[in-house]
A and B are shown apart, each in its own frame.
Chain A
Amino acid sequence: RKEVEQDPGPFNVPEGATVAFNCTYSNSASQSFFWYRQDCRKEPKLLMSVYSSGNEDGRFTAQLNRASQYISLLIRDSKLSDSATYLCVVTPRPVNYGGSQGNLIFGKGTKLSVKP
């Protein structure tokens, strides 16, 4: 099982649609969870962290289910500018809590294309 797996996509949706991305992770000791956004031919940028209680930032809602090792991202009222690849990212807990603490494990990403 891959460390971080995401819906392969691509997701093609009309403006205003609600779209959900799913992600599963294999390391049950994983510590921190994030969604990054990557525009075409650009660097990844943090979209939002994911907290156990779930969290919302405007049109974006992230959920974490530690028991199922599952993370989700919901985008409501999608805009053309939301078109990008969304990367599910996990921070593993290293056995020795050494220098690798805070290293990120990236999923392959799910591409979203919002059409007019």
Chain B
Amino acid sequence: NAGVTQTPKFRILKIGQSMTLQCTQDMNHNYMYWYRQDPGMGLKLIYYSVGAGITDKGEVPNGYNVSRSTTEDFPLRLELAAPSQTSVYFCASREVGGLYEQYFGPGTRLTVT
């Protein structure tokens, strides 16, 4: 089992560029999440999904979009990148019910200059 995988690991964007952060999980989890973590800060929820075709905003959704066409994939789209989006992005997933344990991917380090 690969668990949760994310690509790319690192990326440098120029202001105004766009990109998609990829996230895939092979655990057949219904719930998936995108977080950002700024230096010295806790993780903040950007978007989440409770199943294919269903997404909802988290705490900090502005500047991002998501889609969930399959159970496995949950890409995060950045449109018109801004320096404030420089951060580490983590994707996570969990099964329905249970103890709410979330399994995280290794993260994508994004720098916008």
Residues of A at the B interface (CB closer than 8 Å) are 4, 32, 34, 42-46, 49, 87, 91, 99-100, 102-104, 106-109
CB distance from B9 to the nearest CB of A (A): 11
A106 contacts B106, CB within 8 Å? no
Say whether, besides A43-B105, A43-B106, A45-B104, A103 and B42 are in contact (CB < 8 Å): no
Residues in B neighbouring A4, C-beta threshold 8 A: 42
Q: Is B54 an interface residue (CB 8 A)?
A: yes
Q: Is B31 an interface residue (CB 8 A)?
A: yes
Residues in A neighbouring B48, C-beta threshold 8 A: 99-100, 103
B101 contacts A46, CB within 8 Å? yes
Residues in B neighbouring A108, C-beta threshold 8 A: 40-42
With A99-B48, A108-B42 known, 13 other A-B pairs at CB within 8 A are A4-B42, A32-B99, A34-B101, A42-B106, A46-B101, A46-B102, A49-B99, A87-B42, A102-B100, A103-B45, A106-B42, A106-B43, A108-B40
Residues in B neighbouring A104, C-beta threshold 8 A: 43, 45, 100, 102
A43 contacts B107, CB within 8 Å? yes
Residues in A neighbouring B102, C-beta threshold 8 A: 46, 104
Identify the 3 closest CB pairs spanning chains A and B, nearest first.
A43-B104, A106-B42, A99-B50
Q: How far, in whole Å, are A34 and B43 apart by their CA atoms in the complex?
A: 14
B42 contacts A109, CB within 8 Å? yes
Q: How far, in whole Å, are A109 and B42 apart by their CA atoms in the complex?
A: 7
Query: Which of A87, A107, A108 gathers most chain B CB within 10 Å?
Result: A108
- Scan residues 1-47 of chain B and give those whose CB is less than 8 A from a CB of chain A: 31, 33, 40-45
Q: Is B90 an interface residue (CB 8 A)?
A: yes
Say whether, besides A32-B99, A44-B90, A102 and B31 are in contact (CB < 8 Å): yes
Measured CB to CB, the nearest residue on chain A to B43 is: A106
B94 contacts A102, CB within 8 Å? yes
